[in-house]
Amino acid sequence: MEERSALPEKSQVVIIGGGIVGVCTALFLAEKGIPVVLCEKGRIAAEQSSRNWGWIRKAGRDARELQLMIDSARLWREIAPRLGEDIGYGIRGTTYLAGNAAELARHEAWLRENAAFDHGARLLSPRETDELLKRDDHRFAGALHTPSDATAEPALAVPAMARLAERCGAVILEGCAVRSVTRSGGRISGVVTERGEIACETVVLAGGAWSRTFLENLDLSLPQLAIKASVLRTGPAPEIIAGTVGATRASLRRRADGGYTIARSGAAEFQIIPAAFTHLRAFLPVIADRWRILKIRLGGEFFGPLGRHRWKADEVTPFEQVRVLDPAPDQALLRSVLASAKALHPRLEGIEIEETWGSFIDVMPDEIPVIDEPAGWQGLVIATGLSGHGFGIGPGVAKLVVQHIEGQQPLVDMTPFALARFGKKAAA
């Protein structure tokens, strides 16, 4: 991928955003011989797609997206061997520990509610949990264990997919922000980039946390907010488990380098920007559910790149002013997370933080993606709002997008992912 690749005059499809959804969409289209150009304002996978935990899980998924995740897991198994690169992919299992009877009951409820799906998860007894973790202290009431879940290294996986997409014929442009779209007769006719125009029939907006900002400039409403998450990695440490292990205070993934990626599920920073007021009512259930671990901040981000902006197609946009979102991680939170990890897993005593990072997660009020074409905007396909668990489900979302573009029968019912679920204003 070269930053100054020639700008094509036209293509059938233009994709906005070089994260996992955009890259996989480009790959699937290129494999079909469909002309596609992907425009990324910064670098491929520079934001959430390389900053996530690296879990590819079916366990614990919302029922509305579980079948799509099952299909996405299959796509991961098919794609990984074709990359010709080691991305750290492997089927290593996911285990959610239950620290008490209440947590175990939640896992039991998830199994009952999703018994119709072929997810492969099962409940472990305290003894089985001890055996899996190679300990004998009966610390846990049990666990939800999914042996067929996988992991991969995010910083390696998506760039490797992009290189495969290029070999299949996709044009990928880094350092090329899309400023706006053009329409003719109510349907998409092209995009305006910072380097010129590209005529096209379809635009796929896979802009992650930037999607709402882009759509607001088109007078389209998307109730999506960017929530800041913080993650750490350690140096080499004793193996607790080959795959992932989740718990209330700290969740871990064994890395290819022998260390761990560690974070706390649900612990994030909710930043007050204009969109937070616009969509506050929709997000109140999420805030109420997580108020003990969700920090609310009013600061410089109010006027930052994800704030309210308006621009014309010949003007510099927020996407050019900030090529890569690189928020400072919450160091106090991460010190607490590491301490919790050590308390949960005594064999980790003595390990230290090697690196920390922050990211902005594109969150929807119901934490389910939007995969849809807004009314009156024929040819504009939105694929965003993966809400912090998009790395695993990304290929499945991309497959749905391609099937929608081609008018094919979708992998799964797309109704749960419709923009209209948020009301007429969002759908218009």
Q: What is the pLDDT of residues 135-174, one digit of tens each?
A: 999 899 999 999 999 999 999 999 999 999 999 999 999 9
CA of 402: how far to CAs of 133, 161, 168, 327, in Å? 41, 16, 15, 32
Q: Please, which residues have CB within 8 angstroms of residue 202's CB and are 6 or more apart in sequence?
A: 12, 13, 14, 188, 379, 380, 381, 405
- Count CA atoms closer than 13 A to 244's CA, side-chain side: 32
334: left (phi over 0), alpha (psi -120 to 50) or beta: alpha
Q: pLDDT-based confidence at 302, cuts 50/70/90?
A: very low
Report yes or no: 251 and 245 within 8 Å, Cβ to Cβ: yes
Q: Maximum distance among all alpha carbons in the chain? A: 69
Q: Residue for token digits 């905007």?
A: 377
**Of 3.40.190.10, 3.10.580.10, 3.40.640.10, 3.50.50.60, which CATH number belongs to 13-85+153-224+270-326+361-427?**
3.50.50.60
What's this model's pTM, rounded to 2 decimal places? 0.93
303 has pLDDT over 50: no
- Contact between 318 and 305 (Cβ < 8 Å): yes
Residue 291 binned pLDDT confidence (cut-offs 50, 70, 90): very low
Coil/strand/helix, residue 344: helix
Helices 390-406/20-31 angle, 10° precision: 40
Confidence of residue 290 (pLDDT cuts 50, 70, 90): low
CB of 359 closer than 8 Å to CB of 325:
yes
